Structure 1
Amino acid sequence: MADERADGASEGELEQNDGQQFGRLPETAAERTVEGRASREAVVDYFADRFGIPPETFDDYTFWEKGAGKIWIYGGDAPSPISIEAIGMTCLRTRQEHWKPTTDFVQRFGRHASDCVIDLEREEARRFAAGEDQDLEWWNGDWGYLIAAHEIAGEREPLGIGLYVHGELRSMVPKGRQRDL
């Protein structure tokens, strides 16, 4: 079934995504001009609903898509569409069943999160940073993508994104960023 927009157009009548250029996310789904593109409202709502990150955290940022569902966050504004290699940093993958935040995003914005944050003890944090999966039956929060964090100098420090299913925390730290601590 086609996704009806406020202007009466259906998804089938929208432009196709050009994976070689950045397109700014529309404010709402009703303003969508590119088929399948997430809206700014949906992205901000996702971070608020899933992680408790206040929507105003993103007031000074714009969101962009390049490729199929690779969302970038940029501290500023730029013309859209724009053909450049990068703008800001990747923050989210959307064109899949479950949206997945990036490690960069979590390390930059994760300290604003109040929900779906798993606080790891020293050895658990070490194993997570090394890219190891581990059984953590003690977690009784939501399953799915979580922000893994560890207390450093009295402050909660986000380490990266993890996937929690069936009592196991899977480290999503990219191989090139894994560290033995």
Structure 2
Amino acid sequence: MSDDRNGANEANGTDERENDGQRFDRLPATADERVVAGRPTREEVVEWWAERYGVPPETWDGHTFWEKGKGKIWAFAGDLVSPNPVEGLGLRILRARQEHWKPSTNAVQRFCGEATKNVVFLDGEEADRFVRGEDQELERWDGDWGYLVAAHEFEGARESIGVGLYLHGELRSTVPKGRQEDLS
């Protein structure tokens, strides 16, 4: 099998220049290397995390980025041949290919410890409501609207607890139902 990252598979004569939701395809490094229309690049993903949340670009050193499905972006701390038909690979970090990209809860908890932008700090009661999946009025936020990193202080250290959607003075919890919990 040819490993031209996103191109034709010479071994079986198929053209892999379109998105196949059943396999992982490595993101191209830059737009100049893109062969699948609409597929984000590694450069765009790293830049988005830096611009939106202030996550340092070096956070992603040592990780390869992959797409499976339409816009589901995964980070893998390693390298493999692309395309790859495995069922799971690394950690899903982002949903792209839509107007507003959405970070995953896992990515925020794992990679946003050093985030400096669009981080809303929640007090004890607010954090408890957030992780239970409850939406809440939060008029004090004066930053950007859209997807925010929700953070709370645990034992003197800031922890990213999830992704919230802030619109019209309301913080909507996007904590998945299976991950909701009671902090009290």
TM-score (norm 1): 0.91
**What is the aligned partner in structure 1 of residue 22 from structure 2?**
20
- Kindly provide the amino acid, as one letter, of the partner of residue 55 in structure 2: I
The one of 156, 161, 174 equivalent to 2:176 is: 174
- Kindly provide the amino acid, as one letter, of the partner of residue 34 in structure 2: R
Matches within 5 A, 1:1-181: 15-181=17-183
Task: In structure 1, list runs of 5 or more residues that go unmatched.
Answer: 1-13
Give the stretch that moved more between structures: 38-47 or 26-35. 26-35
Q: Aligned equivalents of 1:57 and 1:106: distance in 2?
A: 12
Identity over aligned residues, as a percent? 61
Which secondary structure state, in structure 1, belongs to the residue aligned with residue 120 of structure 2? strand
- Kindly provide the amino acid, as one letter, of the partner of residue 105 in structure 1: A
Q: Aligned equivalents of 1:113 and 1:121: distance in 2?
A: 18
Name segments (4+ residues, structure 1) moved above 6 Å: none
Deviation sequence 1:124-176 (CA, Å, 0-9, x none): 00000000000000001111100000001111000000000100000000011
Q: Aligned equivalents of 2:69 and 2:117: distance in 1?
A: 29
Q: Aligned equivalents of 1:121 and 1:47: distance in 2?
A: 25
Q: Aligned equivalents of 1:37 and 1:65: distance in 2?
A: 8
> Alpha-carbon deviation of 1:15?
2.0
Q: Aligned equivalents of 1:111 and 1:153: distance in 2?
A: 15
The number of equivalent residue pairs is 168
Q: Aligned equivalents of 1:74 and 1:112: distance in 2?
A: 19
Q: Aligned equivalents of 1:60 and 1:166: distance in 2?
A: 38
After superposition, the CA RMSD in angstroms is: 0.9
- Kindly provide the amino acid, as one letter, of the partner of residue 32 in structure 1: R
Which secondary structure state, in structure 2, belongs to the residue aligned with residue 80 of structure 1? coil
